[in-house]
Every structure is written in C-alpha cells, then in structure tokens.
C-alpha cells in the first residue's frame, strides 16, 4: 500500500474519477449468440488550445486533459481516499529523504515495450533536463536522483524532506513515458506513448484528438468506453451549438454566464459542476508607497464585499473565497473571515485613523480585459464602487493587455492588481508558496520571516495533524498582513447530453477531465 505519514484532503467523488470493478468482467464482451455491441465512442468538445502532448512540456490545463488520459503515473488520487493510492506502483517513505516505488508486474506501453523502473528513471531525468518554458520540472526541485535497484523498483532520493512528493507523483508532470520512444533532449509535442487508459489514435493540432481504449492498462482508471473524440473549437458560440445540436456528447471550458443560464433551463442536457481549484485575488505591489502601508492593505481587506462581487460580476457562477486556500484542502481555514468578519466601513476607518493615514487614500488598481475572462471589467468596477462608497479611498482603474499587464504589475505600476491562480499539484502548499516563497511567481515584494518559516516547516512536516496546524497559522499570517486578498473560487462546469453517464466523477479539481469513466446509455 501507499504509505505517507501525514493526512491530506479527502477528494470527493465530484472531483476525481473513481472506477469501480476494474478487475471484473468487461461489459462490452459479446455473449455467445448475441450481437456484437456497437462501439461506444464519446464525442467531447472544448475551446481549449492544446500546447503539447508531451508531459515534460508546458503545464497548461488543456494539455493536461489529454495527458491525464494517455499516461500513467506511479500514484493517483481517487474519491474517498485521503492519500494517493497505487496506479503503476506502490510507494512508501523509507526515510524522510528516500521514497521507494515498487512497480506492478506486466506493465506495458501500447507499442508492446515493457514498462520498467528504467522508464521511470528516464521520465524524471528527462523532465528535469528539459526545463522548457512553463515546464512542471520545478515541482520536483527536491529530487536529486532516481535509482533502480531492479526492473520493478524505483527509488527517489531527495535533497531535503518533502512531504508533498506523493501528491506531486499524481500529477501529469509525473507521467511515465517509454524511453525507447521519446528523445532525451527534446519534446515530442504531437505524439504520445504512455501506459494510461487510452492510446493516441490521431492528433490534428488545433483541430482534434482521437483516443482509443488501451486494454492492457493496469490501474484503477480502466476505460468504460471504447474511445473519445475531442474536437477543439474556436469560440463559445461553436461550443454552445455543438452541445445543443447533439454534435457533441459533452462540452466544457468556454461557456459564458449567459450561455450557462440558457443551458440550465434546457431539458435536453445536464449541467454538472463543482468548485475547482482556480482562485482569483487582488495582490498589493509593495514597491509602491501606498501598498507598503499595512493599514491601507487591512482597510481594503475590511471593505471588500465578496458576495456582491460574485453576484454582480459573475451572476453567482463562482463562489466567495475567504482564504488563498479554497475549501476542501487539508488545513484550510477561512482566515480572512476570521480576521475581518463582514465588510465594515467603521472598522476600516478606524484602521486608517489609528495609523494616521488621511482619507480618501488614492489607490491605483490594475486589471486586464482578456486573460481573466468577460467578468473581469465588471469585477473591478464593483471593487471601485465598494471602496469609494466608503469615502475612504479614491480609486483609479488602469488596464493593459497580457503580457504587458504582467510587466506592469512587476514594475509597480499599480498599488493593487487583479490576479488568478490554478495550482499545479493537488496540495495546499501550492496556494501558499506562490505568495510567500522568495522568487515565486507572485513575488510582489512581500517579505515575512514568520510566513517563510511556517512555509518551510509545513513542507517538511511528516505528521498530518501538525502540518494542518502550520498551514492554518500561515493562512492567518497572510490574512493579518494582507499582502494578497482572495476574492473568489472558480467552478468547473461540464454540459453533457442526457445519455452520458458518470459525468460528475470525471471532473478534476485542477480543471481537467478524466474521461475513462464516461459511458453512453444508448451507444450510437
């Protein structure tokens, strides 16, 4: 069994795909004297833009949806399981810096090559060697080497204790590839050879991906359909047409709020959604004199009305968020609700007065019109309304297109700016490190010895209860000092025809889909 000595969030069935009865008889096998069942191919449509089929390539959501279904990882996370469970291997910590994985016997790739520990070693060494743009290689920064005592044993040797490792191994970054198929020094963007529940049948970049069931897959995600055809569409109008006319069995990523409202009243489809891991926030750029004042940051945090933003800008299609860590993760606490309770003008005014800050405080707020979707403008307008209605702030809104916006946020052009984050791995650490660790992606000038110390402790803490306490304390520090203010959590929404079964378990909290559990009640 997989052994980890600390607890994790219990992932619900609405988030990750569980496949029951993987070892049972194949329900597609024709019985003697019966007709051969029709092939069950699920047609999927999305506005996603796939970057690479190579798991060592850019770590974008669109690519992960395909990779998660083509490749096998050593461990995976299933519903009701608080810790990773075996996929290709059974793993355990032998020491704080040694993690041993024992592979299942008889694993193979679709080309017939055996999958051995040598392929595991090659996969991780290749990932760390390539380090491409937006590569997930940084996830495994604690890894020094992978040794292979025999064909079925891979040993991960770490620079330092890393309690995150079992969860990192469940991501597509930890996919195992065929060392005889993949070049060691360059990406293979348009081809794939993994040992997951599907194999690649065809790929037309920018247009479509065809997957067929891989019958020799050995793991908990065996396909319950014969294959999946994924069509890549250009816009939301095409996506809406595909699902409402029956051209697609399932559609995701691309519907706007108005379209979703129409689909919810359409009795020919089912709308399935769950809170996902995407969050939005406002970050202070501490290069500016205004943002460096703790009282200014705390006063803004005291005034923000999250439910009003969610309702007015997004029609309640997202959820208010009171911590940089969303609900459902171990150690999560609503730290901003605890610190500031409800929006309160008097409390905010008191914070500024006690710090000797004259009002109204001039505040420049940055936003970008495309990267964060159609609701971004309405969101900053509502934020401006809230802050100015208090009489405590005078807000100037400034926008820029991506990537100029990124440059301006780093340069200190805004006191406060709109931001978004989707974690790279299913662990609470990836919501905290981006704001606390020096040199991290959202390095806005915030420095805290206390926060940095707590982050280091939780990363190496092996006891689950103690780690949760450290995580809660760290969220409390961020709420008190308010270098970043969380606003809302996204939802992953999938629209499917009435004939599609097992839709909810296909939704992964990191915003991609596991497709192998999908079935059609009436195959075409």
Query: Mean pLDDT throughout 230-241?
Result: 95
| Secondary structure of 229-270 in HEC code, one letter for each residue | EEEECCCHHHHHHHHHCCCCCEEECCCCHHHHHHHHCCCCEE
- The torsion defined by the Cα of 442, 447, 450 and 452, in degrees rounded to 10, comes to 50
- Among 155, 194, 198, 196, which Cα is nearest to 178's? 194
pLDDT tens profile 442-488: 779 999 999 999 999 998 888 888 999 999 999 999 999 999 999 99
Q: Is pLDDT at 38 greater than 80 in this prediction?
A: no
HSE-up of residue 60 (Cα within 13 Å, Cβ side): 11
The mean pLDDT value for 22-31 works out to 43
Residue whose structure tokens are 């209860």:
465
Token pair 């920064």: residue: 141
Question: What pLDDT is attached to residue 126?
Answer: 97
Q: How far is CA 503 from the centre of its chain?
A: 18
Please give the average per-residue pLDDT across 310-317, as a whole number: 91
Q: Dihedrals φ, ψ of 34, to 5°? A: -100, 165
The neighbour count for residue 221, using CB atoms within 10 Å, is 24
Q: Where are the domains of the chain?
A: 42-268+498-520, 275-491
Give me the mean pLDDT over the 57-80 stretch. Answer: 89
Helix (H, G, I), strand (E, B) or coil at 26: coil
Residue 22, beta-bridge partner list: none
The answer to whether the beta carbons of residues 152 and 102 sit under 8 Å apart is yes
- Reported residue count of the chain is 524
Which of 97, 94, 99 lies closest to 120, judged by CA? Answer: 99
Tell me the two tokens of residue 294.
Answer: 């703790």
Q: Strands 250-252, 41-46: parallel, antiparallel or unpaired by DSSP?
A: parallel
What average pLDDT does range 347-363 have in this prediction?
A: 98
Specify whether the CB–CB gap between 265 and 271 falls below 8 A.
Answer: no
Residue 136 has pLDDT above 80, yes or no: yes
Buried b (16+ CB within 10 A) or exposed e, 456-473: ebbbebeebeebbbbbbb
Band of residue 135 on the pLDDT scale cut at 50, 70, 90: confident
- What is the average per-residue pLDDT within 149-163? 96
Q: Is the pLDDT of residue 14 over 50?
A: no
Mean pLDDT of the chain: 90
pLDDT of residue 180: 98
Instruction: Give me the pLDDT at residue 201, please.
Output: 98
User: Which class in CATH covers the domain with range 42-268+498-520?
Assistant: alpha beta
Using a 10 angstrom Cβ sphere, with 0-12 exposed, 13-18 middle and 19 or more buried, the burial of residue 209 is buried
The vertex-521 CA angle with 515 and 524, nearest 5°, equals 90
Coil, helix or strand for 449? helix
DSSP class per residue in 170-228:
TSGGG----TTTS-TTS--TT-----SSEEEEEEETTTEEEEEE-TT--STT--SSSEE
Output the CATH code of domain 275-491. 3.10.105.10
Q: Which pLDDT value is given to residue 81?
A: 67
Angle between helices 376-389 and 306-314 (to 10 degrees): 140
Share of the chain above pLDDT 90, in %: 74
pLDDT of residue 253: 92
Strand segments, DSSP code E, in 119-161 are 143-150, 153-158
Q: Check residue 36 and give its pLDDT.
A: 58
Q: Report the percent of the chain where pLDDT is more than 70.
A: 92
- What would the mean pLDDT of 485-512 be, rounded to a whole number? 92
Q: Which helix (H) or strand (E) is 294 found in, with range?
A: helix 294-303
Average pLDDT over residues 220-248: 96
Q: What is the DSSP letter of 513?
A: B
Q: CB–CB of 430/509 below 8 Å?
A: no
Element (H, E) at 85: strand 85-86
Distances (CA, A) of 204 to 172, 192, 258: 21, 13, 31
Compute CA distances 367 → 254, 335, 397, 416, whole Å: 21, 25, 8, 9
Quote the radius of gyration of the chain (alpha carbons, Å): 24
Across-strand partners of 289? none
Instruction: Report CA torsion sign: 411, 433, 16, 18.
Output: positive
Q: What is the pLDDT confidence band of residue 79, given thresholds at 50, 70 and 90?
A: low
């Amino acid at each position: 069994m997989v052994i980890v000595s600390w607890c994790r969030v219990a992932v619900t069935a609405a988030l990750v795909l569980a496949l029951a009865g993987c070892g049972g008889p194949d329900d597609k096998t024709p019985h003697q004297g019966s007709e051969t069942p029709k092939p069950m191919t699920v047609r999927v449509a999305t506005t996603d833009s796939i970057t690479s089929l190579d798991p060592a390539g850019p770590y974008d959501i669109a690519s992960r949806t395909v990779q998660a279904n083509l490749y096998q990882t050593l461990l995976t996370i299933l519903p009701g399981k608080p810790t990773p469970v075996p996929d290709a291997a059974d793993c355990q910590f032998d020491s704080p810096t040694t993690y041993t994985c024992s592979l299942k016997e008889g694993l193979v790739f679709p080309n017939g090559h055996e999958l051995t520990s040598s392929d595991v070693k090659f996969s991780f060494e290749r990932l760390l060697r390539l380090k491409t743009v937006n590569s997930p290689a940084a996830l495994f920064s604690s890894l020094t080497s992978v040794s292979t005592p025999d064909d079925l044993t891979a040993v991960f040797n770490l620079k330092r204790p890393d309690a995150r490792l079992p969860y990192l191994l469940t991501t597509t970054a930890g996919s195992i590839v065929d060392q005889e198929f993949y070049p060691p020094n360059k990406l293979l963007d348009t081809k794939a050879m993994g040992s997951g529940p599907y194999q690649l049948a065809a790929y037309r970049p920018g247009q479509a991906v065809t997957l067929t069931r891989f019958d020799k897959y050995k793991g908990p995600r065996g396909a319950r359909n014969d294959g999946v055809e994924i069509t890549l569409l250009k816009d939301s109008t095409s996506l809406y047409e595909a699902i409402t006319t029956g051209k697609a069995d399932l559609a995701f990523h691309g519907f706007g709020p108005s379209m979703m409202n129409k689909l919810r009243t359409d009795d020919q489809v089912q709308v399935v959604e769950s809170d996902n891991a995407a969050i939005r926030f406002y970050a202070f750029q501490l290069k500016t004199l205004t943002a460096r004042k703790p009282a200014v940051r705390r006063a803004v945090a005291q005034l923000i009305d999250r439910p009003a933003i969610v309702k007015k800008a997004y029609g309640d299609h997202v959820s208010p968020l009171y911590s940089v860590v969303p609900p459902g993760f171990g150690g999560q606490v609503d730290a901003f609700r605890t610190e500031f309770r409800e929006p309160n003008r008097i409390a905010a005014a008191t914070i500024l007065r006690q710090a000797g800050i004259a009002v109204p405080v001039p505040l420049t707020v940055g936003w970008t019109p495309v990267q964060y979707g159609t609701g971004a403008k309405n969101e900053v307008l509502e934020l401006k309304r809230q802050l100015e209605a208090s009489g405590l702030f005078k807000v100037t809104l400034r926008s820029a297109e991506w990537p100029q916006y990124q440059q301006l946020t780093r340069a200190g052009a805004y006191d406060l700016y709109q931001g978004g984050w989707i974690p790279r791995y299913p662990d609470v650490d990836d919501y905290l490190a981006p704001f606390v660790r020096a040199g991290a992606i959202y390095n806005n000038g915030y420095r805290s010895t206390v926060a940095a110390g707590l982050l280091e402790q939780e990363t190496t803490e092996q006891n689950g209860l103690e780690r949760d306490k450290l995580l809660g304390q760290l969220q409390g520090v961020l709420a008190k000092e308010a270098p970043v203010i969380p606003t809302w959590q996204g939802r992953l929404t999938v629209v499917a025809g009435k004939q599609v079964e097992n839709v909810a378990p296909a939704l992964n909290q990191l915003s991609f889909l596991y497709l192998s559990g999908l079935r059609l009640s009436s195959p075409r």
